[in-house]
Amino acid sequence: MGKAVLKILALDTSTTRGSVALLAGEEVIADLRLLSKDQHSERLLGSIDFLLRNSGWTLPQLNLIAVGIGPGSFTGIRIGVSTALGLAQSLSCPLACVSGLDALAQEMGFLDGRIGIVMDAQRLQVYYAEYRAGQGRVHRVRRPALWFPRDLEPALGRKQVYVAGDGAVRYARELRISATGRRRLVVMDLFLAAAIARLALTRRRSWRSGDFLKAEPLYIRPPDALRSRRKRR
């Protein structure tokens, strides 16, 4: 007999594109998406329950909880991570923490060359990370950082790069991104729960389990409260 297919619950609340997905291995069984500027906390547990009930799954059947750790909204990331931690601990289930930037880049593994992920960070800034894709593999070559588009544009250089993300769309003119130029826009699905689960499957060594689970959110921009304290000093 072959190996049992893992049942995965994946969730991402790091941006306004909140999503929850159930996967059997790499196959999406069900997903729920909500584009909202409101906090995801009121809907997240209800969304998980809805998907489980309508898929015929139960919480104890889950083999893995995968969660997006950002970058994005401080409050949104905290909601997702704390919910995933709570579920993983109560179910004694492994937890996988995945950056949304990495997940989106991995979905572009069909390409060959440089990949730039540009996500809208609000306040006229973007999160940017760069990857190299080839032969179906993707690896990161530039760590995620916070940029103003005017500073990122020269940093992209003159070589061809495939670019994706809502920041790439919003600041296409400033970053000189087009459908056919050397900075080529690739339209991708930005509801990332399923992509986070698929990447988590390839990173089994990074799964965490036990009574004292920890997760490290990817906060590239410090929370507002921390910035306010710094200003008062």
The reported pLDDT for the residue numbered 128 is 98
| DSSP conformation class of 50 | H
Rounded to whole angstroms, the Cα distance separating 9 from 3 reads 19
The reported pLDDT for the residue numbered 136 is 87
Low-confidence ranges of the chain (pLDDT < 70): 1-2, 39-40, 211-212, 223-233
Tokens of 177: 């991104």
Asked whether the beta carbons of 205 and 81 are under 8 A apart, the reply is: no
The reported pLDDT for the residue numbered 212 is 67
Tokens of 166: 């809502």
Q: In sequence order, what E strands does the chain have?
A: 7-12, 17-24, 27-35, 64-68, 95-98, 113-122, 125-134, 137-147, 161-164, 183-185
Amino acid, single-letter form, for residue 45: L
What is the set of domains in the chain, with CATH numbers? 7-100+191-232 (3.30.420.40), 108-185 (3.30.420.40)
End-to-end CA gap in the chain:
64
pTM of the model: 0.92
Rounded to whole angstroms, the Cα distance separating 215 from 100 reads 15
* 170-192 per-residue burial string, b: 16 or more CB within 10 A, e: under 16: bbbeebebeeeeebbbbebebbb
My answer on whether omega of the bond before 217 falls inside 30° of 0, hence cis, is no
- Phi then psi dihedrals of residue 30, to 5 deg: -160, 150
